[in-house]
Amino acid sequence: MEHENKPIVETQVMKNKDGKYVIHKTIITDIKPVKYYEKVFESKEG
């Protein structure tokens, strides 16, 4: 699977149940190959 190195950013803005507050929720999804994390973990151990 080819994937650009850009994270996927999703936002949601809503009011709470009683309407007194605005909730702004941000979800950041970052997809990296397993080999990337293996190299990161190797560098932390050494």
Mean pLDDT of 16-34: 96
Q: Calculate Rg over the CA atoms of the chain.
A: 18
Q: Which of 4-8, 15-19, 25-29, 33-37 has the lowest mean pLDDT?
A: 4-8
Mean pLDDT of 2-14: 86
pLDDT of residue 45: 72
pLDDT of residue 46: 61
CB hemisphere CA count around 31 (13 angstroms): 7
Mean pLDDT of 27-39: 91
Q: What pTM was computed for the model?
A: 0.55
For residue 22, which amino acid is it?
A: V
DSSP assigned state of 3: -
For residue 25, which amino acid is it?
A: K
pLDDT of residue 3: 57
